[in-house]
Structure 1
């Protein structure tokens, strides 16, 4: 050891460049980032040597210790104490310190007098006895612990009993790489015009690269221009034990599988600047690692933050980083899944681009300047904790999850389609079609949308939802024939009713909207009118035979009972209608056709949604289970092998023992699936249902059979359907409202208050 650390210094302990390992790179980058973020602080480093001769370290390294020399740890403690270092930041990995499970480090920690902040690069959920003892001691002697993923904090709490208030979650730092087109970088590597797959980092058997190579034949068959670049030197410890056996086995495998012309091995430990160039040339990054219990991956963080699409096995860090559509997870040791995921990105450029942008945007929280600030805060907390008891204010110190990115609400087209009478049914392109007039179905949907947006506080600036809501409700009031208790449906542009009695479905939708208004409207006059109309129109439903009319009515009864929970009539009708749907299911469903009817036609998911909702809140366990089972089947037959949503087409629907129609796909089907799956998610708290809702929602945005968006981002309108070769460019009311309702429901599902408002208590 040489020199003295100035007063007010921060010391970092770990490996350090030019040592070739991930911890050395991390320690170097963290030290430099903190030094830049706090120029008045004196940042010094202690380097752990894994070889007797050490390394030619830069001046930043002020002391060294030998990995297996216990006394060198004590000497390092003496150096830190003597020089009055303010804070010690330890990089912990069991393998870089000497002794059983790296226990030599404890000799240093027992003797240092300054606050200690320890970054845990590995957190074992099932440690052996030695590892557990070391970790418990390490936790006790550290003032604060830093983990890079929520999973790490969870394991610390559940496995080691570490208080949450002692743990900071700070992401792995990454360089700030601009979002760019990979084509800009490919020429310098001679891969212009090719799709580049990349894996980089120190090579070793745990990386699972053999499974990526096994996936290549299937990928190349579909995309012959793919090249897989394996970048990085074999881990020096592995080379010392067995040479390049692993790398050679990968090269032989590539040759055996006939893809040697599609694999490039670059056996170098590249500099950061070179690495940026390689990342820039990358299209898809692969991390086929084999161990779930990997709590962090610096290589994954680097490429993810640069805005690259990632296909990864579900080790813990990948599960968190790639959640919410920011990447694709595949099972361990599954080449077919890797091939399918890669081809899915390449076959769906819209999804590929969305994933990239989501990753890059999320990665802005991980760039080194941001991470350095987080560490400086942790250091300040450690000093405060050393002087006083830990404060509960920091008990929830975690990184917030990025909510699923949703488009903004735009009502331009909705307003254009509406007048003082209500909303027009149809449009020619984005122009209202007066000739087709109005209908109760669409005004009911529009009124529900107004109430939902009001609850969300999601009205765009300058829009008058109050005026729109009054117009739509006025239409429903005029539609009700009070003498018969039935709603009419179609009205001409000249405000003439075109029928004496509408369909059962339109009646059910009207009751749904009125129940929604009775339960949600913030305007007392509208709320009271909704109650009045609802009570007049409800009895007629008891004679209906349309399953969808029954389902719509059940949805309306649920909303009505929010403000009228003791209404005996509504409660009795709900019980009758629920049992009717249950009976319908029992009479028709079998193992291969778990459905309510002998055909699946339109607005299918509403049947499942109605039973899930009623079954949960009555409660009626059998109804709830039928709702979930039927929805599970419906989701399975509307999910393609590529993973996107494909609703049953209206050009023939799906008859039992027949072939389902794939086109024309209707927006109301996607919206119904969004609603039903979110209801299933609220009922079960199973995140799979939220994923299914998102899958259906993304159909609007272009994750569909044609990779074409139906949603018009310029005005909030939505095309009338997806044909076999194009989007129907007419933006009618039903389709536009389907999108806007789905969007509002997705926003509602992500609201912090949702779980409270949906609680049965």
Structure 2
């Protein structure tokens, strides 16, 4: 934060500076966090830090910030003025969680501001992990050997009440003439700006007036952490004579408490809690006589003072920075998890705004951007192709399928035809005539990175070839795809991947649209259908109508393959397993909530909720489209539309994955944000899903 024209000489770890009184500076800071992929924002709030009425400029930052915010409140006012209350109400709306450091602060948030208790974490102020040592070990460092050291440290300002401690010294020195009072810290910068050093000079004048100037030592400087540890270590009694009861947090009190110092304090809120149960001594506000009595009493009873110190030090072990850091991380995790649990009221609000999920017009800019003369790139960094991971057969197969289906729906298009030619050329190059297998991964230098690809990638390539054979009017494409299909199909007989079987069955279904009399292909269809049926019977049971002991990726392709097989028992299993899968992937608000790839879903284990992938939505939409075509039941069409709306924001986070400005689709729905990269798989999943919805309209027209 910068509150003066010349700024501050912040260390290099400070990455961005906000000009306190410039509202636009706050929105720039929010954008800076966005482009740096910040996952959670820890906001330290104190009235007086931020610009505007009651620090209201901060609200512009939070309004712009689309990240989970955890707000630590250093002040909680019992009687806020209207501007302060407004800021607190907006903080409640814009923060995922609050952190307070005292029980009183927690109660005020609930009782005065109406903030939900479950949203608040009580985490103590962190302290240095210091050993319980004799103060004499440090005193020589600041020339206090043989002295009894009283200490106050921190930025000097009138609310610290240091006058009361100085005024107490004459009464202390009568009984303890060896006492010295150290006042460590620079004057508060805001005070310097308005009054210079008038406050410190007034304290020095007071000491001279009382004749204790030799016993009051000012260390006018900012001290490093190591120096602070030495001052704290050398203190016998720490004094916080603050004037304001509503002081909810005191870092200086926490530090000395954790170090096991004897403490005398006025009864402000933080001190009341921390020094309870004889862990310190409380004295009235602005009462020098009470301070003098308390100091003299402790020095007269060293055993009592040692017992008090031990109680403080033991309690302070719970407040060391490593413990506090872990508690903060737990709060951050809760804030991030909270994003994945949209409230029922928020879900209802979104449900009432159906136009929000209107199907957007086709926009293929990103598809063209992601394609070069070799093929389509696998991955993107944001919406820019990523050359490092280059190409794969999987995505070029998907892309070729899209071009065939797009032209079937919209008619011939020379630009789309050029894309189709590129993708098919890649598939032809990927096929190894010697091994009769497709290779999958290729680098940007057009070097294959493996001798043969996965079974799934091989089957997807067959799916692409079958789609062209069943639907394309381009004779050249059909002839080349016939070679790929005929040469690549026999290998599938030896595959063990259920998804490869399913992709191949979809490929066969497309192929048989044109060549229903091919007995060899029909026999392969029978083999693969039987395998999936056997798999289902072997693994399904009560509460688990599924083909495997774990539900993983592209799940709906398994029932989809059986539904389109046209064989009675297979169709029945396909429809029932698809219905079960849809039920298991429906959130509390009715939104599609697919099984996440971060752990998937073992039968006896917990279902992973994230990372949710666009390919899962496309698989369900395609399967539901097939089910609608086979049964004529409009419920399947409704399921497909609801899953498509997942792309548009009807999901667990209420955030759109489809980018209308680029025509690309973001890669995943994570626990608390969207993966902003727009890869080929995700983008094609969206556009293929959109084509499936159009196909449903044609089916509906035919059925009516």
Q: TM-score, normalised by structure 2?
A: 0.50
Classify the secondary structure of the residue corresponding to 2:372. coil
Instruction: Provide the C-alpha distance between the structure 1 equivalents of 2:354 and 2:666, rounded to a whole number of angstroms.
Output: 21
Structure 1 gaps of 5+ residues are 1-192, 194-220, 223-341, 359-404
Q: Is the counterpart of residue 407 in structure 1 residue 354 in structure 2?
A: no
Q: Is the counterpart of residue 442 in structure 1 residue 433 in structure 2?
A: no
Instruction: Provide the C-alpha distance between the structure 2 equivalents of 1:464 and 1:685, rounded to a whole number of angstroms.
Output: 35
Tell me the equivalent position of 1:625: 572
Tell me the equivalent position of 1:3: none
Tell me the equivalent position of 2:495: 544
Q: Is the 8 A contact 1:345 1:352 kept in 2?
A: no
Q: Is the 8 A contact 1:409 1:458 kept in 2?
A: no
Instruction: Provide the C-alpha distance between the structure 1 equivalents of 2:630 and 2:365, rounded to a whole number of angstroms.
Output: 34
Tell me the equivalent position of 1:634: 581
Tell me the equivalent position of 1:353: 353
Q: Is the 8 A contact 2:499 2:557 kept in 1?
A: yes
What's the CA shift string for 1:677-698, capped at 9, x where partnerless? 1111111111111111111111
Q: Is the counterpart of residue 684 in structure 1 residue 631 in structure 2?
A: yes
Tell me the equivalent position of 2:449: 498
Tell me the equivalent position of 2:376: 423
Question: Which of the residues 511, 533, 537 maps onto 1:560?
Answer: 511
Instruction: Provide the C-alpha distance between the structure 2 equivalents of 1:440 and 1:414, rounded to a whole number of angstroms.
Output: 16
Q: Is the counterpart of residue 507 in structure 1 residue 454 in structure 2?
A: no
TM-aligned CA deviation for residue 755 of structure 1: 3.5
Tell me the equivalent position of 1:603: 554
Tell me the equivalent position of 1:473: 424
What's the CA shift string for 1:278-317, capped at 9, x where partnerless? xxxxxxxxxxxxxxxxxxxxxxxxxxxxxxxxxxxxxxxx
Tell me the equivalent position of 2:613: 666
Larger CA Rg, structure 1 vs 2: 2
Matches within 5 A, 1:605-754: 605-614=556-565, 616=566, 620-751=567-698
Classify the secondary structure of the residue corresponding to 2:546. coil
The 3 A distance-change label for structure 1 pair 354 and 753 is closer
Instruction: Provide the C-alpha distance between the structure 2 equivalents of 1:660 and 1:727, rounded to a whole number of angstroms.
Output: 20
Bigger shift: residues 513-522 or 423-432: 513-522
The 3 A distance-change label for structure 1 pair 752 and 589 is closer
Q: Is the 8 A contact 1:348 1:707 kept in 2?
A: no
TM-aligned CA deviation for residue 351 of structure 1: 4.0
Instruction: Provide the C-alpha distance between the structure 2 equivalents of 1:545 and 1:641, rounded to a whole number of angstroms.
Output: 36
Matches within 5 A, 1:190-205: none
The 3 A distance-change label for structure 1 pair 526 and 624 is same
The 3 A distance-change label for structure 1 pair 725 and 343 is closer
Matches within 5 A, 1:109-124: none
TM-aligned CA deviation for residue 533 of structure 1: 0.7
Q: Is the 8 A contact 2:629 2:699 kept in 1?
A: no
Structure 2 gaps of 5+ residues are 1-88, 90-114, 117-341
Matches within 5 A, 1:6-155: none
What's the CA shift string for 1:88-111, capped at 9, x where partnerless? xxxxxxxxxxxxxxxxxxxxxxxx
Aligned residues: 367
TM-aligned CA deviation for residue 346 of structure 1: 4.0
Instruction: Provide the C-alpha distance between the structure 2 equivalents of 1:600 and 1:353, rounded to a whole number of angstroms.
Output: 33
Instruction: Provide the C-alpha distance between the structure 2 equivalents of 1:464 and 1:680, rounded to a whole number of angstroms.
Output: 33
TM-aligned CA deviation for residue 347 of structure 1: 3.0
Question: Which of the residues 586, 591, 615 maps onto 2:537?
Answer: 586
Bigger shift: residues 700-709 or 742-751: 742-751
Q: Is the 8 A contact 2:498 2:532 kept in 1?
A: yes
Instruction: Provide the C-alpha distance between the structure 2 equivalents of 1:443 and 1:584, rounded to a whole number of angstroms.
Output: 30
Q: Is the 8 A contact 1:601 1:654 kept in 2?
A: yes
Q: Is the 8 A contact 1:608 1:630 kept in 2?
A: yes
Q: Is the 8 A contact 1:489 1:501 kept in 2?
A: yes
TM-aligned CA deviation for residue 354 of structure 1: 3.0
Q: Is the 8 A contact 2:348 2:589 kept in 1?
A: no
Q: Is the 8 A contact 1:441 1:489 kept in 2?
A: yes
TM-aligned CA deviation for residue 353 of structure 1: 2.7
Classify the secondary structure of the residue corresponding to 2:609. coil
What's the CA shift string for 1:569-605, capped at 9, x where partnerless? 1111001111111111111111221110000000000
Q: Is the counterpart of residue 454 in structure 1 residue 387 in structure 2?
A: no
TM-aligned CA deviation for residue 348 of structure 1: 5.3
Q: TM-score, normalised by structure 1?
A: 0.47
TM-aligned CA deviation for residue 344 of structure 1: 4.9
Runs of 4+ in 1 over 2 A off after TM superposition: 342-355, 751-756
Tell me the equivalent position of 2:25: none
Instruction: Provide the C-alpha distance between the structure 1 equivalents of 2:394 and 2:410, rounded to a whole number of angstroms.
Output: 25
What's the CA shift string for 1:217-246, capped at 9, x where partnerless? xxxx99xxxxxxxxxxxxxxxxxxxxxxxx
